[in-house]
Amino acid sequence: MTDTTSYNARAIDTAQRLMAMRRATARDRSGVPLDDLLPARDKAALGVQREYERMGGQPVSDRLAAAAERLGASLEHLGLTLGTVIHGVDLAAPTDDLVAFVRAALLERKVVFFRDQHLSEAEQVAFGRRFGELDAFPFGRPGDDPFILEIAHGPGSPGYENGWHTDVTWMEEPSLGSIAQLVEGPAVGGDTLFADSHAAYLGLPVALRERVDGLHGVNDYRIFLADRGEAAFDPEVVAEVKDAIPFGVTHPIVRTHPETGKQALYLHGGFLRHESLHDPVTGEHLPEEESRELVRQLLAQHTRPEYQCRFRWEIGSVAFWDNRAVQHYASSDYYPERRVLRRVTVRGDRPFHRPEAG
């Protein structure tokens, strides 16, 4: 008998004996709450389950499904609680019904996708404006239209949007949502991943959730400028920006969604000062070490695959994500191929935390 054979004989015998013992003492655990079945250190499955239950145990409401049918649209879900490709609609000619449907779908699915749109800049801007005012972006490359942000990478410029984040948290009224279209892309790679900030919140251990509820952090775009090397920007312009646009903006790290009332983790690891957590009601400023540790734990939440879906772009694909409900991460795995994304950003409102909301 070879070693492998003797190992396998022992493994098979052990498995059979253990299973026989388990059958003898088995009790039906299917009715036990999931929380009690999971170890305290890992409640990821619980976050997904709670969020899905809150969604009525179905990916979209009956009302949204009926609206899709009326529009002749079909829905392809990429994740249980987030991410749906909406097929069969034309964003270049958005009717009022289509806009209302996309808005409702965004609230239910948090991020929605469309294929084969090939919008011109003007069409993309016009589509974005159907959802609110747009915000221009001061630190990136504008398109021909100043409300277009062109996120372009290729030789000499690897992608750097590969950190979990929600857009422009340094603004006093950060974005409601971002609408991006791929106009040039690599043969393989360059996917964008999205993570459900509501499920991520619900999956926190109770003690951690209670500790971070109500805490605020300071968001500061100067961290971003320093990260990019301020030298990359004209110093005069940088100085003017620092005079004109407020930095050090305080936002709750658990944010109540203004339309759905759900709580979401709300933090951008690149803009947030990790040592800045504080409670504006009690005036408590956390010791630096505790603040950094809490930020580390919260940032780790979105990295769990349980909360994520992944979108494989094609030229002309469009993604519309709700910055109040998801985080995103652009996979930087295509260097030195070119990848060019055009984005518009729909204006949001001031984040708040209302604990009783849900």
List binders of ligand SIN among 309-328 (CB under 6 A).
328
Query: Which one, 318 or 330, has the nearer CB to ligand SIN?
Result: 330
In whole angstroms, what is the distance from residue 197 CA to residue 205 CA? 15
Q: Which of 209, 206, 168, 195 is nearest to 294 (CA)?
A: 209
167 is annotated as an active-site residue: yes
Q: Which of 201, 173, 217, 352 is nearest to 264 (CA)?
A: 201
Q: Answer yes or no whether residue 183 interacts with ligand SIN by CB under 6 A.
A: no
Q: Answer yes or no whether residue 341 interacts with ligand SIN by CB under 6 A.
A: yes
Q: Answer yes or no whether residue 192 interacts with ligand SIN by CB under 6 A.
A: yes
Among 183, 326, 330, 346, binds ligand SIN (CB under 6 A): 330
343 is annotated as an active-site residue: yes
Amino acid at 186: P
Query: Which one, 57 or 155, has the nearer CB to ligand SIN?
Result: 155
Shortest Å, Cβ 275 to ligand SIN: 24
In whole angstroms, what is the distance from residue 255 CA to residue 165 CA? 14
Shortest Å, Cβ 186 to ligand SIN: 12
Q: Answer yes or no whether residue 161 interacts with ligand SIN by CB under 6 A.
A: yes
Answer left, alpha or beta for residue 316, where phi above 0 means left and psi between -120 and 50 means alpha.
left
In eight-state DSSP terms, residue 8 is H
Shortest Å, Cβ 236 to ligand SIN: 27
Q: Which of 179, 232, 202 is nearest to 307 (CA)?
A: 202
Catalytic residue among 255, 268, 304, 343: 343
Query: Which one, 149 or 286, has the nearer CB to ligand SIN?
Result: 149
Catalytic residue among 328, 339, 342, 353: 328
In whole angstroms, what is the distance from residue 157 CA to residue 149 CA? 16
**Which residue minimizes CB distance to ligand SIN?**
330
Among 274, 342, 343, 353, binds ligand SIN (CB under 6 A): 343
Catalytic residue among 50, 109, 167, 216: 167
Q: Which of 124, 267, 160, 261 is nearest to 204 (CA)?
A: 267
Shortest Å, Cβ 190 to ligand SIN: 7
| Non-local CB neighbours of 204 within 8 Å, separated by 6+ positions | 43, 47, 212, 298, 301
CB 209 within 8 A of CB 265: no
Shortest Å, Cβ 254 to ligand SIN: 22
Binding residues for ligand SIN, total number by CB under 6 A: 10
Please, where are the H alpha helices in 171-287? Answer: 197-202, 206-212, 221-228, 235-244
Amino acid at 294: L
Strand partners, 329: 193
Shortest Å, Cβ 162 to ligand SIN: 9
Question: Which residues belong to the active site?
Answer: 165, 167, 328, 343
Q: Which residues bind ligand SIN (CB under 6 A)?
A: 151, 161, 167, 178, 180, 192, 328, 330, 341, 343
